[in-house]
Structure 1
Amino acid sequence: MKEIINCAAYQSGCRIADVELNKVHEVLKDVNQFVWIGLHEPSEEVLQRVQKEFNLHDLAIEDAHLAHQRPKIELYGDTVFIVLRTAHKNQQQHIEFGETHFFVGKNFIVSVRHGSTIAYTEVRSRCESMPELLSKGQGFVLYAIMDFIVDRYFPVVDDLESDLEAIEDKIFKERPSRQTTEQIYQLKRELLEVKRAVSPLVDICNRLMRFDIKSISAETHPYFRDIYDHVIRINEMVDNTRELLNTALEANFSLISISQNDTSKKFAGWAAIIAVPTMVAGFWGMNFRVIPETESEYGFYAIILGTIAVCVLLYVLFRRSGWL
């Protein structure tokens, strides 16, 4: 597997050369150039070479190697270390999360991808096609990749909203079931994962917009405001979906309870109806010498008809009351 996806030098918004990793320090001597390096699940050896070239902090390198970090932004001297989580739907329609770590310095940016993430080849191509914007330096590159990551949350959240609508249709149009409850909990779990990934981005964007970070020019601050707006929208969509999902869960429980009550009523109604002939049979089945109506010619038929009449009457009353 290729660990170093790209390592190139840029000047005035144009790609001027591909650079070998161990020669990056020579490019960094020119303050008018910056280096953009893309790594995919690099080994510890590659990260140590990157650390040596850019003089990166040990703790940041350790985080970039181990991965499984929460989204965050940290400053190590003049270098900014940022962790973002990526998300997309796989072929089985399950959400897969990955991580991208960034090291942003005075004239360099290093992106480190981990897990299920989509390559940023498209982002690099788009940036290289806009030299007037790429000339803003590594700050614009950071914006472009962050914007790409955040925008990919929209289809994920849209799919979750569609799943919620399907669950609502199941709840109100079909018979409530345990399977529906399991689907609700599965969707709640996915929404919680998305919330954990997106929520910290608000603070990250705020710091990138408002703090004086030497490695990110003030010209790029408005671009991060655009990402901030997108993050707020995604957070609102997730919160609204979670609230509706909680309501759907309560509605499902209520309908299940109503269904159980209806079933209990039916059992009670039929039990009451069956109790009538059982009681009659119990009375006339006792071993006494003298039992009323036993010597009557029509006594048996009268008891049978009376029993049937009472059962029919009970059935009609229960039917009217909604118990049957």
Structure 2
Amino acid sequence: MISNLRKAVRLPQQQRRGVDLSHPARSPLGTAVVNCAVYENGVRQPGDHPAEDAVRRVRGSGDGFVWIGLHEPSEKEFAGIAELFGLHPLAVEDAVHAHQRPKLERYDNSLFTVFKTVCYVDHDRLTETSEVVDTGEIMVFTGADFVITVRHGGHGSLGPLREQLEADPEQLAIGPSAVLHAIADLVVDDYLDVTAAVQDDIDDVESEVFAESPRRSDSAERRGGTKGSGTGAGRIYQLKRELLELKRAVAPLTHPLQALATQPMALVDPHITTYFRDVSDHLERVTEQINAFDELLNSILQAHLAQITVAQNEDMRRISAWVAILAVPTMVCGIYGMNFEHMPEKHWTFGYPLIMAVTVTLCFLIHRGFKRNGWL
């Protein structure tokens, strides 16, 4: 009955990457309420339904469920809905104030699930201040006859997802747990898209680190950064910070998805449990990619610093070689500058040209030796 569940909830790539998918409000129930719809046998019932009327209709018929979508509601706006559906105060507080870790909490009449949404921020060139990953949140209250989604952030709209599900009533007929799975699947698919985009940034940084001159990169850093040219540690550190933000959004979701995939729950249809396993497997793949990216960035950073160290050592060898060459005329001038009476060739007419010739010859021989050894 749900063989096409994953296919139906996938959205076009251009709709899910770096684009605000704000969905137009369909319901006049309030500024925070984006949508309120009644579904019976998987079919959306026509008309705009205030929350009270929608609940009364569903519970009166004993069939279907209500799906209410909200965007950044205030405590006052959410209080009426929380009281109507009997939501737990702690979950309500988390949903209103946001900034929660991904989690799954069970209450008497509902499940409360928190998802971190991520969006890749397009940029022409990665700099040491570039924003790569933008995060938001989706909270989902799932009950026997209702789904309440609370979205925070400027991306991750569920409007296109709702339309995809409405196009296949057979899936929505399963109930609220089908909506919960569709949201989880969409969020994890976004993780896959973002990690693929971040990998492109890492590949670019890696290519530039091994392609450019270490001395030029080091001099660019000393001049005040790498915004214009050179890779520099600043860009690598910025990418690591953005990768850490992505990891904070992805990693904590592992346990909630494993619970949905392996533990029987009264509010989750047994047929949907199998599909949560697939979502959990995709999340595990994302987690492995992020860990691999972090290790790769560490290696790139070490390689970049090693290049700079090698360039500095080469500079020090050149300086040392020239110091050794200049030490010869310095020593000769110092000796003859002591003005002793009896010194070699001091009173000879060709003494000065001879000493200069010897000095230049010694400097030439030392320079040639350093040149052969690669110091110059």
TM interval, short-chain normalised: over 0.9
Give the aligned partner of residue 131 of structure 1.
169
What TM-score results when the alignment is normalised by the length of structure 2?
0.83
Alignment of 1:68-217 (within 5 A): 68-92=99-123, 94-176=132-214, 177=218, 178=221, 179=226, 180-217=232-269
**Partner of residue 70, structure 2:** 39
TM-score, normalised to structure 1's length? 0.96
> Residues 35-74 of structure 1 correspond to what in structure 2 (within 5 A)?
35-74=66-105
Q: Could you list the runs of 5+ residues in structure 2 that have no partner in the other structure?
A: 1-29, 124-130, 227-231
- Secondary structure in structure 2 of the residue aligned to 1:152: helix
Amino acid at match of 1:285: G
Which segment drifts farther, 116-125 or 266-275? 116-125
Amino acid at match of 2:69: G
Which residue matches 1:11? 40
Distance 2:90 2:177 in 1: 22
1:311 aligns with 2:363: yes
CA distance in 2, matches of 1:216, 1:69: 23
More displaced stretch, 7-16 vs 206-215? 206-215
1:3-60 deviations in Å (ceiling 9; x for gaps): 1010000011110143202323303413311011110001112211111111000000
Of structures 1 and 2, the one with the larger relative CO (CA 8 A, separation 6+) is: 2
Contact persistence 1:21–1:49 (CA under 8 A): no
Do 2:100 and 2:114's aligned partners in 1 also have CA atoms closer than 8 Å? yes
* Distance in structure 1 (CA, Å) of the matches to 2:140 and 2:54: 17
1:232 aligns with 2:263: no
Give the corresponding residue for 2:31: 2
Work out the CA distance in 2 between the residues paired with 1:254 and 1:191: 23
Q: Percent identity?
A: 39
2-side partners of 1:64 and 1:162: how far apart?
34
The answer on whether the counterparts of 2:55 and 2:66 sit within 8 Å (CA) in structure 1 is no
Structure 1 runs of 4+ off > 6 angstroms? none
Alignment correspondent of 2:342 = 290
> Structure 2: how far apart are the matches of 1:96 and 1:52?
32
RMSD of aligned Cα (Å): 1.5
Deviates more, 1:24-33 or 1:123-132: 24-33
From 293, 302, 305, the counterpart of 1:253: 305
Task: Report if the CA contact (8 A) 1:43-1:65 is conserved.
Answer: yes
Contact 1:78–1:214 (CA under 8 A) maintained in structure 2: no
Q: Whole-Å Cα distance in 1 between the matches of residues 54 and 163 of structure 2? A: 21
When structure 1 is superposed on structure 2, of 61-70 and 166-175 the one drifting more is 166-175
The structure whose residues are more often strand, as a share, is 1
CA distance in structure 1 between the partners assigned to 2:197 and 2:353 by the alignment: 68
Q: Which amino acid aligns with 1:155?
A: D
Aligned CA distance change for structure 1 residues 118 and 2 (closer, same or farther; 3 Å): farther
**Structure-2 separation of matches of 1:143 and 1:226:** 10
